[in-house]
A = this chain, B = another copy of it.
Amino acid sequence: MAQAQRITPRAQDFSAWYNDVIMQAELADYSPVRGCMVIRPNGYGIWELMQRALDDMFKATGHRNAYFPLFIPQSFLAKEAEHVEGFAKEVALVTHTRLKATGKAGAGAVVVDPASALEEPLVVRPTSETIIYAMLAKWIQSYRDLPILMNQWCNIVRWELRTRLFLRTTEFLWQEGHTAHATEAEAEAEARRMLGVYRTFQEEWMAMPVLTGVKTDGEKFAGALRTYAIEALMQDNKAIQGGTSHNLGQNFSKAFDVKYQTAAGGLEHVWNTSWGVSTRLIGGLIMTHSDDNGLVAPPKLAPVQVAIVPIWKTDDERGQVSGVGSQVRTDLEKAGLRVELDLRDTMKPGAKYFEWEALGVPVRLEIGPRDLASGQVILARRTGGKGPAPLQGVTDSVTKALDEIQASLFAAARERREQNSIRGATKAQFLEFIKGSGGFVYGGFCGDPACEAEIKQQTNATIRVLPDPEFRSKEAPKTCMWCGAPSIAEAVWAQAY
């Protein structure tokens, strides 16, 4: 880890704080390529745990992984009209395939060889509907081939102008599920099911409370019939979209002519869904839990769950505490925990504590000679609180602490969200709230895109979702929060990342 640096306090500059947390914990770094980040091992370790948990859930719901090409012919993207309009302005285009020597040395030694121009430029995938549905057209003949339940883990490129580590980068990693069904009802159930999987993951693994619901037409995916989304509120009271699940209807199956023979012998277009979450979730995790001392990782997704820091002055003591530390590590690892034993000679214990805190490690065990004499160790929680735990049975104490930390992070984040949400807002209350501390505003919506656009233009707040029943206010709003016309649905507004 690099030399310890002060982390800008959240209250002073949330954006600087966010970057400091990432740099201090060595989660990621800026690369020499515009808008592209490097995910360093500490950050990638979180992504690997996220992948494992999500992948298990995808497989438990019958999905299988596959891999489709990085490149999409330009003409494919154009086949679905809304889709190409949504992505045309932010695509990386491969146009040539050779470099040629200039005769100079070093950095200027090569230039693009104009003789290597492709007949048809290729788009680096901004999402894979078009290439996948072109393949489905080849694979699907009959109702017996349905449903097709697939997923792929891959990199995605969208040429974003303003980028932020994890939250918005030109290249990012994600998974994209793609399914094909015989009926509209099955596709709708699938889109809903995967939204539920995302909710379970984000609540139970990330300890991040979420709202689910449907996007308005203005905010839906380019080419979708309906987009369902999952939204969380960060500590600066801005929302983050943590994932989307699209019912694509027959839009793509018609564009790519994906048909199947029905049991009755007819020929129908299939019904599709697609759904995805990305490395952006790591940004959400950071902004949900971390504090002015650095990263706070929820135990289930912490690459290191327990840091053992032996304390010694003499060589004899070193032998004793490191022996016990080593035994404790073995016991904890046997219980399935991810553990580091910190025996570095070059740092004092205080500096080690500081470092493991910045890295977000949920539990730290301090093992000193005096504690050992009393048959105990000191158990410190990243979320606060520190006290003795008997050496005998320390695995149980640690497991219990990790469970409690996981639960308390979720509870604290939910409480914070509720404290920063207002319901049944009038236009005046909405304006005061959004321009003040910010948060989620629940209120009536008339359904008019013009009204939605005006709100966005004046306040930079957007409708995050029309929430699902379990998140709605007890009393349905009667009028639009903004224009006063009759409300067609309750909406949740916020400024968002």
Chain A contact residues, CB within 8 Å of chain B: 29, 31-33, 36-41, 44-45, 47-48, 64-79, 81, 84, 88-101, 105-112, 116, 121-124, 131, 134-135, 138-139, 144, 150, 154-155, 157, 159, 171, 173, 346
Contact = CB atoms under 8 A, between A and B. Distances in A.
A84 B98 CA distance: 11
B99 A74 contact: yes
- What DSSP secondary structure best describes chain A's contact surface? mixed
Contacts of A36: 69-71
B95 A95 contact: yes
Contacts of A45: 64-65
B124 A124 contact: yes
Contacts of A74: 99, 110-112
A122 B69 contact: no
Contacts of A29: 135, 138-139
Nearest to A98: B89
A41 to B, nearest CB: 4
A131 B31 contact: yes
Given A81-B105, A93-B96, 12 more contacts: A33-B71, A70-B157, A77-B99, A78-B106, A78-B109, A79-B106, A84-B99, A88-B99, A94-B95, A95-B95, A96-B121, A112-B121
Given A33-B122, A84-B109, A135 B38 contact: yes
B79 A67 contact: no
Given A38-B135, A94-B93, A101 B88 contact: yes
B88 A92 contact: no
Given A90-B97, A92-B94, A109-B84, A48 B65 contact: yes
A66 to B, nearest CB: 5
B91 A107 contact: no
Contact of A93 (B69, B81, B99): B99
A131 B40 contact: no
Nearest to A89: B98
Given A67-B173, A88-B101, A108-B78, A73 B32 contact: yes
18 contacts: A29-B138, A32-B73, A33-B131, A36-B69, A36-B71, A39-B67, A41-B64, A41-B66, A44-B64, A44-B65, A70-B171, A71-B171, A74-B110, A77-B99, A78-B108, A88-B99, A88-B100, A92-B94
A44 B31 contact: no
